[in-house]
Amino acid sequence: MKRLNNKVAIVTGAAQGIGAAYAKGLAQQGAKVVLADLADPSAAVAEIIAAGGQAISCKVDVTNSESLDAMVKQTEAEFGPVEILVNNAAIFAALELKPFWEISEDEWDLVMRVNARGPFQCTKAVLPSMRKLGRGKIINIASGTFLRGAPMFCHYVASKGAVVGQTRALATELANDNILVNCLLVGLTESEGVKNNAQFDKAKNSTLGSRVIKRAMEPEDLLGPIYFLASEDSDFMTGQCINVDGGAINY
């Protein structure tokens, strides 16, 4: 039997890149997956369906409560109560690397609104559905940049630190509802956005040099940890962060 057979999952930021990989992987494990994004996720949905999986697309703004409520309503109508939420939507590859004193207040606020407030609002939106079901798994996607204080990216690093903080606080608040909240700290991954952005070339070289596993990290490298956190295998684990970066940071 597949590990996530008939479980209902929402993946935000799922139109492409790592989010699409999460959604496809969850569907391969038997989950019914809602691919939520401001961009059109229909291509990724079509791939899942062609492979025999179950998936629907949903256009959603993770910073808008009405949009998120509509997402949950659509999910429940199509598949049933939400059991798994992957808070993946974030601004990353589109950001220009720059020293913190050149980051405008508007840019700072945008990054924090999407990357930090977005997971907070998504979690609030799915909470009634998970409570109705009597259980839930929330998987927040943070970044290894938080552990090492990556330069030229202060707003992004701070936003992912906020995700770690939310993970720990929400794990405590939601334990009595049988809702477990954990986090992946993701290393620099060869997503479409990173591959197509020359400003990451220098970071790729330094990151590869710091890894004990000497190869590029692919989106598929994150699927095993996602399956673990979404399944019953992690039922006695909450408030934790799993660092997946090929051994670049080993503490």
Instruction: Return the ∠ at Cα 161 (arms to 214 and 102), rounded to 5°.
Output: 90
- Please count the residues of the chain: 251
DSSP for 130-175, written as a single string: HHHHT-EEEEEEEETHHHHT-TT-HHHHHHHHHHHHHHHHHHHHHG
Contact by Cβ (8 Å): 182, 167:
yes
Instruction: Return the ∠ at Cα 163 (arms to 29 and 111), rounded to 5°.
Output: 110
What is the SS3 assignment for 123?
helix
Question: Distance (Å, rounded) from C-alpha 41 to C-alpha 207?
Answer: 30
Residue type, 184: L
Q: Cβ atoms within 10 A of the Cβ of 6, count?
A: 12
* Residue carrying structure tokens 């990451």: 200
Query: Is 156 noted as a catalytic residue in this protein?
Result: yes
At 246, give phi and psi (nearest 5°): 70, 20
DSSP for 206-249, written as a single string: HHHHH-SS-S-B-GGGGHHHHHHHHSGGGTT--S-EEEESTTSS
Catalytic machinery residues:
156
